[in-house]
Amino acid sequence: MSAEFPGVDELLASWLPHQRWFGGKGRDITATSGRAELVRGGDPAVWTYLLNVDYADGGNDTYFVPLSVRSHTTEVLGYALIGETTNADGSPAWVHDALHDREVTPLWSELLNAGTRSGSLTFVREPDAQIPADLLGDALTVEQSNTSLVYGEVAIVKFFRRIEPGHNPDVEVHEALRVTGNPHLAPLLGYVTTSDVPGDEDATLAMAQEFLPAASDGWAQATASVRDLYAEGDLHPDEVGGDFASDAHRLGAATASVHADLARVLPTMEAGEDWLVSAAEGMRERLAEACAAVPALREHADALRATYDALVDVKAPIRLQRVHGDLHLGQVLRTTSGWTILDFEGEPARPIAERRAPSTALRDVASMLRSFDYAARSLLLDGQEDPQLAYRAAEWSSRNRGAFCTGYGEESGEDPRDQAVLLRALEADKAVYETLYEARNRPAWLTIPLRSLERITSEEVT
């Protein structure tokens, strides 16, 4: 694209680090280069742009940045503006993030509805899917690693920002689970791939799902419950009108239901001692990386290593299967009919091959248990050190963690707490991941995982 718009790579290199979904925060960028493809001409013209980013540590990433290019800009487009450059003929070219340029958003749903192919791009519509072709898309503002457009009350299209060759796990899992009719999923409507990547597999750029307009996300529901508890000076969580435990119980059952269907339609295997040894080694490596970047973590390092070392003594059989990979309260929606689980792409920072690999279902359980801790403590980030509120946060978290595990066990026949050693190690590993993430992205939140570590490594999982 540089030939058409000289300087666009430099514009993007300056703009990229400030985007919430950019995963290279804290790393020095040494070079950027891009590959562009025209999707629709005119003014505005719409391009897909794959931006390659090289880092000083030797790593590299590829980001998907759809662009709208106009001969002018307006105040309304200020939020979408990336910068000004010139066309090859010297005329002005105002470059915008096309996902926040509302006027051009119908293009994506139109192409998905048509199920067409354009250059390296393939737009796939699922059988019998209904995708709106004439609605404007409104970008959600709460996401961290992707960007989603909501089309009326019909569909939501999620654009993956950091991409790799290979079928994205979110699409792969939803396609596989279609035959199960699981009630805890939003139906897949379609997806977009590009062949303009190295390797033998195309990369997934976007996916469309049925939108659930009457739903509320689990994080909002849980933190509202915590707020109700904090407003009552002398009541326990089970005595407050906004008690969340019954919802946590049903969420545990929903998670177990999805895990059972994943094991039914995708490959499973039994893990041996070598898997446990490898898992512990990976945890120790991630701990070393995090300790190097977050000095406050180092005081917990010995206890964490002992937690990981205990994995070699686990004797119970462990089944490996496809899992969600990044399950938390922000990834679930409560509707009138129950819980819906979203976003099966796994942790976006991990390589796609790792995210597609079988793991233990307890990894998702541990991730959700961490989310209950986050919900309880997120309202204590204003700097106050109130021992009573901290105690009540722990009480709320413990009650809902227990309710989730009970619901999971009743649905699956296996209570996660029966594998306490493995569950504790997985939760500790997740907390270490969180310390590194928060240090790089939300330093004010760093106290949440750090304050959880002592409990995780010393107490029984409840």
pLDDT for position 257: 98
Provide the mean pLDDT of the chain: 91
pLDDT number for residue 357: 92
Q: What is the pLDDT of residues 93-128, one digit of tens each?
A: 999 999 999 999 999 999 999 999 989 999 999 988
Q: Quote the pTM value.
A: 0.89
* pLDDT in the model for residue 366: 98
Asked whether the beta carbons of 163 and 156 are under 8 A apart, the reply is no
pLDDT at 337: 87
User: Percent of the chain at pLDDT above 70?
Assistant: 97
Report the alpha-carbon distance of residue 395 to residue 186 in Å, rounded: 33
Residue 131 confidence (pLDDT) above 80: yes
Report the C-alpha gap between 218 and 238 in whole angstroms.
18
In percent, how much of the chain has pLDDT > 90?
A: 73
pLDDT value for 205:
97
What was the pLDDT predicted at 1?
A: 46
Averaged pLDDT, 154-168: 94
* Residue 241, pLDDT above cutoff 90: no
168, two tokens: 């994205």
What are the C-alpha distances in Å from 241 to residues 189, 343, 393? Answer: 38, 30, 16
Output 113 or 386, whichever has higher pLDDT: 113
Mean pLDDT of all residues in 357-365: 97
Number of Cβ within 10 Å of residue 382's Cβ equals 6
pLDDT-derived band at 235 (thresholds 50, 70, 90) equals confident
pLDDT band at 379 (very low <50, low <70, confident <90, very high): confident
Q: What is the mean pLDDT of residues 210-226?
A: 93
Residue 460 has pLDDT above 70, yes or no: no
CA 359 to centroid of chain Cα atoms = 17
Residue 292, pLDDT above cutoff 70: yes
